[in-house]
Structure 1
Amino acid sequence: MSAPEFVDVAINDLSTVERVAVTVVSLAALVAAVLFSRRESARRESRLSTVAAAVGAFAVVVVTTVVVVVAWDAETIAWAAVASFQVQATMLVRAFLSVMFLVGVYVGTGVIHRAVSRFVKRTEGISEHQAEITYRIIQISVYVIALVIVLNLWGIELGGLLIGAGFAGIVLGMAARQTLGAVIAGLVLMFSRPFEIGDWVKIGDKDGIVTDITIVNTRLQTFDGEYVMLPNDLVGSDEVVNRSRKGRLRIHVEVGIDYTADVDEAMSLAKDAMGDVDDILTVPRPQVVLKEFGDSAVVLDLRFWIDKPSARRKWRAQTAVISAVKSAFDEAGVKIPFPQREVSGRAETGGFRVSEQPTVEATEPEDADQPGSAVRKDSKGEGDADDADEEDETDE
């Protein structure tokens, strides 16, 4: 008796309970193989190991299926099912080549990912975010090329497909022009890196901390607690000021001194006062520069630096400097003037008449005994006497 005949006889002699036991053991082995492959692929964290685990699991599935079919003496039914599909050899070859090609592309993109990661670690000018964007672009390009090759392998004409895709692209481009512009601007921002997450920036009239950068928009948190979402096309076309890039920031504070004050003394006092402030850097040293002649003061520009720039550090340092300089000027008697105006009148109009006391209109007294009333009466009496004398002289 040959080996196949012995196997057939042995299988035919199996009872129903034994067939069920063989099926249960086969399924348990299948589950164990799948779990083992998942654990190994997760532990190794490489695409090659993932593919190997998938191939191993597929082989176990095939073997388990064959064992179950043979155990239940269902070979005839299985072959009849296969024959009913009328599968041709060329289709099987195409399917096998397509699967193997796609598996190779999947493994190849994993190799590209590791190569890009190693390149980023050796290069300081490229961030991980830029490397990830580069890898995604390469991955999409490779997948598109692989899809075109597989379609050609199956004899699918791409002419009509490309024409339809081109027409659809035109329609979508017209409908989503602003969104596509934001996406393109987002790619440019990700590669040019004018700012990164956590930077303190000023974009147009918006000032805040960058909280997120997506392919479509950039998100800021202002110092009033507001979240602002800016489309990337607006960010790319507007002025961007990054206050965190260099790790330090120079702050300007203007203060005016009286024109009669000693400028050199005031500058020295301001510089010494800034030197005693702990919230600013000593290197570079604080500086005091004469800026301009103001309307009522000589304007000094106080310049100092802070490290790790943030709005809170800026406000704290600015407050400390203003308080220290104000105290130093008060102790030394340096006057910080307030705006004054000099008013003059034109000569041709007579100028201004200035009175030391306000003019008070005379009122008629109610009581005749008041001194003012008596004077007026006396004056009036004297006037009447004079008039009488004049009349006498006339008569004469």
Structure 2
Amino acid sequence: MEILALQEYSKELIASAILLVTLLFFRTATTKLVRRYAKTNQTLEHRTNLVVKYMHLFLYILAAIALIIIWGVQTKDIILAFSSVTTVVGVALIAQWSILSNITAGIILFFSFPFKIGDVIKIHDKDFPIIAEIVDISAFHVFLKTYDGEQIIYPNNLLLQKGISILKDHFKDKEFVD
């Protein structure tokens, strides 16, 4: 009985095994490519790990979709499940859209690499201009430190929306003027 079941689903099992091997290959390849890119641009390890996690999540989603196709799940079942998941995720993301925009901005900052830790930047904000040194860059925020020692946590999505100047040795050569 078990042998008949294995023979009946042999194509699906073989395709699933091939998908698993392909997933492992792409997971390893993307990890190496992102790490090589990060090394050439001198990106911090924790930022690199974050982008690698995002890439792995994307690959897992693609693999899940491929498994659904391989095993021949009915279209109406896929649409029902997809619409249910999309509804739940949509409500959650609308409630937390800033989290998604900060993650996206963090990825953009990683790959475009406009500034790095240790740079002194000026954020051109009409209401709250900031001149500070970048202490750390995370998935959601950039941690800044002013000349006076004030620590500022600035959301990544706002960094993409505001004009920014990178000041060379601003704190070393001049006295801080507000």
Quick check: TM above 0.5?
yes
C-alpha distance after superposition, 1:212-253 (max 9, x if no partner):
112211110122222210112222222312113xxxxxxxxx
Instruction: Answer yes or no: is 1:181 the counterpart of 2:101.
Output: yes
Match of 1:315 in 2: 175
- TM-score, normalised by the number of residues in structure 2: 0.71
Q: Letter of the aligned partner of 2:167 in structure 1?
A: R
Tell whether the 8 Å contact from 1:186 to 1:215 is kept in structure 2 after alignment: yes
Post-superposition shift, 1:136?
5.4
User: CA 1:195–1:165 in structure 2 vs 1: closer, same or farther (change >3 Å)?
Assistant: same
Name which of 72, 86, 91 aligns with 1:155: 72
Match of 2:137 in 1: 213
Q: What are the ranges of 5 or more consecutive residues in structure 2 without an aligned counterpart?
A: none
Post-superposition shift, 1:153?
2.4
CA distance in 2, matches of 1:170, 1:103: 32
Match of 2:26 in 1: 108
Tell whether the 8 Å contact from 2:51 to 2:107 is kept in structure 1 after alignment: no
Instruction: Answer yes or no: is 1:240 the counterpart of 2:100.
Output: no
Q: What are the ranges of 5 or more consecutive residues in structure 1 without an aligned counterpart?
A: 1-82, 245-308, 317-396
1:253-292 aligned at under 5 Å gives the runs: none
Post-superposition shift, 1:91?
7.0
Greater radius of gyration (CA): 1
SS of structure 2 residue aligned to 1:311: helix
Match of 1:222 in 2: 146
CA distance in 2, matches of 1:235, 1:117: 24
CA distance in 1, matches of 2:100, 2:70: 33
Post-superposition shift, 1:95?
4.4
SS of structure 2 residue aligned to 1:315: coil
- TM-score, normalised by the number of residues in structure 1: 0.35
Match of 2:41 in 1: 127
Identity within the alignment, %: 21
CA distance in 1, matches of 2:42, 2:8: 43
Post-superposition shift, 1:135?
5.7
User: CA 1:111–1:180 in structure 2 vs 1: closer, same or farther (change >3 Å)?
Assistant: closer
Tell whether the 8 Å contact from 2:115 to 2:166 is kept in structure 1 after alignment: yes
Tell whether the 8 Å contact from 2:134 to 2:145 is kept in structure 1 after alignment: yes
Instruction: Answer yes or no: is 1:198 the counterpart of 2:121.
Output: no
Q: What is the number of residues matched between the two proteins?
A: 165
Name which of 2, 5, 16 aligns with 1:98: 16
User: CA 1:212–1:140 in structure 2 vs 1: closer, same or farther (change >3 Å)?
Assistant: same
User: CA 1:109–1:172 in structure 2 vs 1: closer, same or farther (change >3 Å)?
Assistant: same
Post-superposition shift, 1:110?
1.2
User: CA 1:112–1:189 in structure 2 vs 1: closer, same or farther (change >3 Å)?
Assistant: closer
User: CA 1:96–1:116 in structure 2 vs 1: closer, same or farther (change >3 Å)?
Assistant: same
User: CA 1:228–1:91 in structure 2 vs 1: closer, same or farther (change >3 Å)?
Assistant: farther
Post-superposition shift, 1:197?
0.9
C-alpha distance after superposition, 1:65-109 (max 9, x if no partner):
xxxxxxxxxxxxxxxxxx8x8982147734454244213311232
SS of structure 1 residue aligned to 2:118: coil
Tell whether the 8 Å contact from 1:194 to 1:240 is kept in structure 2 after alignment: no
SS of structure 2 residue aligned to 1:185: helix
User: CA 1:226–1:137 in structure 2 vs 1: closer, same or farther (change >3 Å)?
Assistant: same
CA distance in 2, matches of 1:110, 1:185: 25
CA distance in 1, matches of 2:43, 2:56: 15
Post-superposition shift, 1:182?
2.4
CA distance in 2, matches of 1:176, 1:147: 25
Match of 1:166 in 2: 86
User: CA 1:221–1:91 in structure 2 vs 1: closer, same or farther (change >3 Å)?
Assistant: farther
